[in-house]
Amino acid sequence: MKKCVLVYNPESGKRKTKLNKQNLIQIANKYHYQLSFEKTKRKTGAIKVFEKLPENIDLAISVGGDGTLHEAMVGNLRRKKKLLIYHLPQGTVNDVGRMYGMTKNIEKDLELILSGTKRNIDTCLINKEPFVYVACFGNFVNISFDTPRQLKKHFGKLGYIIYAIKNHIRKVKQYHIKYIVDNHEEEDDFSFAFITNTNHVAGVNNIYDDVKLDDGLFEVVLCKAKSIKEIARLVTTILATNNKKLKNVVYFKTDNLILEFSKIPKESWCVDGEELKHNTNRFTFSVNKEVNMLIPNKNVDKLFEGEIEK
């Protein structure tokens, strides 16, 4: 039988993650996998677990929120021999799981994975640090990682809104940024920067209608909004019309990008919902093609364009 390890974060989501291990083992056996379990002991613990898993593992599955999947990707890319991986969503928002059509029912989702398709997937890098689906900078993005864990556990997505209302209604700040794409330079004042490889961000589906996860490109949005009212208007328009040609929004796709701030910003980046601290004004984005994932068949045709990996 093939070997599968399930790495889970017991603290993700509104309730602690509890596994019916016997049921999961039976499902894995049905697909000719011998299933074992590894529990992460602390925040970022999945990085070390994935980094140190034996080479004879045929499939490694993370369980938790989007941040746990991020840790799994970081640990996997640190390995000389990369593992075939996937993720069972059990967090608060679960953008990646929703994009792939997962249900948050662990047993049903495990079946979807094990009956799925192996695909090579783009992994985006910011200054050589990987992220799975989004890196964002600017006003209010720190809400994702600053919202207290207890609020997220008790209220789910509503916890982010409660924290935002209590702490973050303020004047919009702009940053002078030079962006370099294919050796072409532009610069302006921006309030947000979003670099994504997904059609699902912050619980909102189909932000872009043409995302492909294996095309070697990521999506870039730079926003010039100067007020909360303007931000609200832009978000409403984008969600209603999927408009990529708004007056105060720069949108493009690329496989290489440099963002250079006029000075080192005090604020952190938000990467897959987690804080990425830094001490630089220059951020380089690129694409890594070393990772394969076992993807549920549900949305494969919509999200991928390349040939099936053998």
Quickly list H helices, 78-120: 95-99, 106-114
pLDDT for the residue numbered 270: 87
Indicate the residue type of 181. Answer: V
pLDDT for the residue numbered 99: 85
Mean pLDDT of the chain: 83
What does DSSP assign to residue 9?
-
Whether residues 117 and 199 fall in one domain: no
What is the reported pTM? 0.84
Question: What is the Cα–Cα distance from 73 to 35, expressed in whole angstroms?
Answer: 20
| Per-residue model confidence as pLDDT tens digits over 189-240 | 999 898 998 876 665 555 666 789 999 999 998 989 888 778 777 766 665 5
Report CA dihedral (268, 269, 275, 279) to the nearest 10 degrees.
-50
Whether residues 134 and 80 fall in one domain: no
- Let me know if residue 310 belongs to a domain: no
- Let me know if residue 296 belongs to a domain: yes
Tokens of 133: 């689906």
- Let me know if residue 50 belongs to a domain: yes
pLDDT for the residue numbered 138: 86
Please say if the pLDDT value at position 149 is more than 90.
no
Question: What is the Cα–Cα distance from 238 to 281, expressed in whole angstroms?
Answer: 29
Reduce the DSSP state of residue 61 to 3 states and report it. Answer: strand
Per-residue exposure over 188-200, b if at least 16 CB sit within 10 Å of its own CB, e if not: eebbbbbbbbbbb
**Structural domain containing residue 241:** 129-288
Whether residues 206 and 82 fall in one domain: no
48-62, 126-140, 173-187, 199-213: lowest mean pLDDT where?
A: 199-213
Which has the closest alpha carbon to 35: 14, 60, 54?
A: 60
H/E stretch holding 301 = helix 300-303
Whether residues 141 and 252 fall in one domain: yes
Higher pLDDT, 262 or 248: 262
Are residues 294 and 59 in contact, defined by beta-carbon separation less than 8 angstroms? yes
Domain CATH for 110: 3.40.50.10330
Whether residues 91 and 140 fall in one domain: no
Whether residues 202 and 102 fall in one domain: no
Whether residues 45 and 154 fall in one domain: no
Whether residues 133 and 275 fall in one domain: yes
| Max CA pair span of the chain | 59
Q: How many domains does the chain have?
A: 2
Give residues with Cβ within 8 angstroms of 113, minimum separation 6: 61, 86, 88, 294, 296
Whether residues 152 and 225 fall in one domain: yes
Please say if the pLDDT value at position 121 is more than 70.
yes
pLDDT for the residue numbered 273: 80
Tokens of 151: 């609020």
